[in-house]
Structures are given as structure tokens and as C-alpha cells.
């Protein structure tokens, strides 16, 4: 791609897909696994005309916040993302989220405040957005525009959460997940629970199960040391990951939250496990993206499978009960976004001639890194 020209005007944008725009079976195809993410970032950081970039990659969304010299640069970013996922650009086009300027800022504030989460008002997303921003800072892919936008967005999100009641009676993924088996098992005190994955979601789920009286808890992870560490903290047992298929029949509830690129619970393994526990249901809660449980498992008699989209439908009842607070929060988000946009678009005495602002002319930086190295952090 040719170098940018001095008279072009950059755009602040967000592009991507999330649980509002794409169903689970599409989101898992768009998920940026660790390997994909590393390769993708190495490529896009060399795109000429892409001045700044932050990647927000969670189980329910993959979104790119950036500053681009022109629409062709954004098209190139989209094409590289699809290439990293080995998917045609037409697929992303069907489910794409796209916004510019103040609308992009409003979306970021809403996301960080928990307004756009499947579990309205949940806390985890604020930390995930902060982590995404910190990662971009570490990689030097943010500059004066995104620095200002994210810092102000964090302030706006905190204001929304403290000046509305969207967090009152809030539900988390872990809490909704552990309540699902109650319809099948009733009292969970005698349930045998297996956690596949020893990360943050796995730990929160362990806490939620124990709060409901579960005493038999086992943790399995691709890294045995992590499984043992989590098991020790919660007085649980640890199981080598490769032994899971052999012992699957011993459990009543299996919660999956690994970062594996493909399913780790197969139709064959579950069929075998069900034969060894006749007339006893096997309950799967799949919180992973891509999914950890093969879709065909849900067709088996006595196998019950719930995934992220199922949890979202349950959470809608919670959201509907707080609709007035949602509307109040969205009004605050809109006001905050407009204020941030005005601050960015107007000249400031704190802005040097090297600061890139929407609506003003950039120089001729050729890549994200070039502009970031010149950023003032305003």
C-alpha cells in the first residue's frame, strides 16, 4: 500500500463482531486464539496508514478500535483479520459492527460499563477492556487519540456504573452457569463437578459452585500445574487433562472454559461416558469460544448442553427488569461520548504539532508504530 498523503483526514473507528451481531457458531470462527492473535498483530501493525490500534478479544466479542488514514486502510485491516481466521470477508460483512467518531466512542463507553454485555452490568468486561488497552500500550500501537479515548472512556464507564443501578442485582456468567443444573439435579450438594479450564472463568465458577454447597469439585487443565494450583485454593481435586475422557462418566456436571482452538469434549467420549452411567444425566456448561463441546453432543439422550448464547437468553430476563436504568445509562453514555469527541476534535493548548486528532491533518506516519513512537499521550 502506498504511503499516506499529507492532506488526508484520519478516522477514529471500531470494527468487529460481537454477541449482538453474530451467533455463536459464527463468533467461534472469528475468535482470535493466541496463535492467531500473534500472527494477526504482527501483520496489521505494518499496515501503512493504520496509525493506532487496540484489539478487544473476549469470549463474546472481537473488536478493533483504531485510527486509520482512509477507508481503504480499514478494508485492509478487515481483510487481514479474515485471513487470520481463514474466512471469506463476506462472512464478516454479514455480521460486522462498524462505527466512526463519536459513535465509536459511545460504543466503547457502553462496552466498558457493561451495558453491552450478555450479563448486564457485569464487572469482568471493564477489566478486559483495560487489559486490551494495556496490551496495546505495551505493543506501542496506541497514540494520542486512543490514549485520550480509552482514558476518558474508563472515566465514563465508572460514572455510568456509579450513577445508575445497572449493577444492582447483577448476574455473572459464573452465577448463571451454576444455577442451570438446579432444574436437573435440584440440590447440588451431592453433585460431582468437573471444571475443564483453570483460568479466570474456571475460578469464578468454582467459587459459585461451592457457594451452592458443592463438595465434590475436580479441576482439569492442559497445564497440570495450573489445575493443581486452582484445586489447592478451593480444596478440590486435580485431574490430568488427558485423563478426562476416561473419567468423564464419574461426573454429573462438566463446566468447560478452555482456550483450546477446537472442541475438547467429543461426541464419542460423551457417548462412551453415558453408557457407563445409564439413566444418569450428564450436564455440560460450555463457556468457551470456540466451543469446547462438539455440537453433536446435544443430540444425545441424557446429555444436556448449554453454551454462551443459552446463558444470554436467560440473562435477558434480568436485563428487562432493569430497562429504565439501561435507558438512563445509555443517555449518559451518549453525553459522555459527545463530550470526548468535542475534546478530540477541537484544538488544545496541550496538543503538540505531532498529535493526531480526528478532523485534523496528520503528517505522513506510515504505520501504527511510527505514529505511536511520536505520541504525546495527550
CATH number for the domain that contains residue 293 = 3.40.50.720
Q: pLDDT tens for residues 54-89? A: 999 998 999 999 999 999 999 999 999 999 999 999
Please indicate, yes or no, whether residues 97 and 179 belong to a single structural domain of this protein.
no
What would the mean pLDDT of 343-372 be, rounded to a whole number? 40
User: 346 vs 140, 296, 339, 358, CA distance in Å?
Assistant: 25, 56, 11, 9
Least confident of 179-188, 313-322, 351-360: 351-360
Asked whether residue 5 is assigned to any structural domain, the reply reads no
Please indicate, yes or no, whether residues 157 and 229 belong to a single structural domain of this protein.
no
Please indicate, yes or no, whether residues 126 and 220 belong to a single structural domain of this protein.
no
Least confident of 39-48, 94-103, 157-166, 344-353: 344-353
Q: Of 302, 317, 332, which residue constitutes the final position of a domain?
A: 317
Indicate the SS3 state at residue 374: helix
Q: pLDDT tens for residues 113-150? A: 999 998 888 888 999 999 999 999 999 999 999 999 99
pLDDT of amino acid 354? 33
Please indicate, yes or no, whether residues 41 and 118 belong to a single structural domain of this protein.
yes
What would the mean pLDDT of 361-369 be, rounded to a whole number? 37
Q: Is pLDDT at 224 greater than 60 in this prediction?
A: yes
Backbone phi, psi, residue 65, to 5°? -105, 130
Which residue among 59, 82, 85, 256 is the active-site one? 59
Please indicate, yes or no, whether residues 263 and 195 belong to a single structural domain of this protein.
yes
Please indicate, yes or no, whether residues 351 and 223 belong to a single structural domain of this protein.
no
Range of the domain at 287: 173-317
What would the mean pLDDT of 313-327 be, rounded to a whole number? 77
Please indicate, yes or no, whether residues 150 and 261 belong to a single structural domain of this protein.
no
Enclosing H/E stretch for 222 = none
Asked whether residue 2 is assigned to any structural domain, the reply reads no
Q: CA-CA distance, 111 to 117, in Å (whole number)?
A: 7
Backbone phi, psi, residue 286, to 5°? -100, 105
Asked whether residue 1 is assigned to any structural domain, the reply reads no
Please indicate, yes or no, whether residues 200 and 94 belong to a single structural domain of this protein.
no
Please indicate, yes or no, whether residues 196 and 345 belong to a single structural domain of this protein.
no
308-320 and 323-345 helices, crossing angle to 10°: 100
CB contact at 8 A, 231 and 219: yes
Q: Of 271, 294, 317, which residue constitutes the final position of a domain?
A: 317
Provide the pLDDT confidence category of residue 8 given band limits of 50, 70 and 90: low
pLDDT of amino acid 362? 30
For the chain, the domain total comes to: 2
Please indicate, yes or no, whether residues 162 and 178 belong to a single structural domain of this protein.
no
For the question of residue 85 being annotated catalytic, the response is no
The proportion of the chain whose per-residue pLDDT surpasses 70, expressed as a percent, equals 87
CATH number at residue 69: 3.30.460.30
Asked whether residue 156 is assigned to any structural domain, the reply reads yes
Amino acid at each position: 500500500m502506498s504511503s499516506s498523503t499529507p492532506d488526508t483526514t484520519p478516522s477514529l473507528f471500531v470494527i468487529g463482531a460481537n454477541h449482538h451481531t453474530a451467533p455463536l457458531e459464527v463468533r467461534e470462527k472469528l475468535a482470535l486464539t493466541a496463535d492467531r492473535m500473534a500472527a494477526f498483530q504482527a501483520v496489521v501493525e505494518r499496515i501503512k496508514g493504520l496509525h493506532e490500534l487496540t484489539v478487544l478479544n473476549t469470549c463474546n466479542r472481537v473488536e478493533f478500535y483504531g485510527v486509520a488514514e482512509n477507508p481503504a486502510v480499514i478494508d485492509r485491516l478487515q481483510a487481514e483479520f479474515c485471513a487470520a481466521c481463514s474466512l471469506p470477508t463476506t462472512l464478516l460483512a454479514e455480521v460486522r459492527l462498524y462505527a466512526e467518531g463519536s459513535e465509536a466512542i459511545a460504543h466503547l463507553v457502553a462496552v466498558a460499563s457493561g451495558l453491552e454485555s450478555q450479563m448486564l452490568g457485569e464487572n469482568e468486561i471493564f477489566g478486559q477492556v483495560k487489559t486490551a488497552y494495556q496490551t496495546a500500550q505495551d505493543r506501542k500501537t496506541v497514540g494520542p487519540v486512543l490514549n485520550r479515548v480509552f482514558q476518558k472512556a474508563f472515566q465514563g464507564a465508572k460514572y455510568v456504573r456509579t450513577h445508575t443501578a445497572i449493577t444492582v442485582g447483577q448476574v455473572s456468567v459464573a452465577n448463571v452457569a451454576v444455577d442451570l443444573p438446579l432444574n436437573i439435579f435440584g440440590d447440588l450438594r451431592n453433585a460431582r463437578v468437573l471444571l475443564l479450564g483453570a483460568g479466570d472463568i474456571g475460578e469464578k465458577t468454582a467459587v459459585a459452585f461451592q457457594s451452592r454447597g458443592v463438595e465434590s469439585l475436580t479441576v482439569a487443565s492442559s497445564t497440570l500445574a495450573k489445575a493443581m494450583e486452582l484445586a489447592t485454593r478451593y480444596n478440590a481435586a486435580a485431574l490430568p487433562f488427558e485423563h478426562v475422557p476416561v473419567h468423564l462418566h464419574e461426573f454429573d456436571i462438566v463446566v468447560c472454559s478452555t482456550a483450546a482452538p477446537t472442541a475438547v469434549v467429543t461426541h464419542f467420549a460423551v457417548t462412551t461416558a453415558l453408557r457407563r452411567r445409564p439413566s444418569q444425566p450428564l450436564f455440560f456448561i460450555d463457556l468457551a469460544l470456540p466451543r469446547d463441546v462438539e455440537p453433536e453432543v446435544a443430540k444425545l439422550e441424557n446429555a444436556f448442553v448449554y453454551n454462551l448464547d443459552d446463558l444470554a437468553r436467560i440473562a435477558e430476563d434480568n436485563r428487562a427488569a432493569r430497562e429504565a436504568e439501561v435507558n438512563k445509562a445509555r443517555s449518559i453514555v451518549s453525553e459522555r461520548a459527545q463530550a470526548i469527541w468535542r475534546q478530540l476534535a477541537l484544538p488544545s493548548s496541550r496538543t503538540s504539532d505531532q498529535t493526531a486528532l480526528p478532523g485534523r491533518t496528520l503528517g505522513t506516519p506510515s504505520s501504527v508504530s511510527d505514529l505511536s513512537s511520536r505520541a504525546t499521550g495527550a
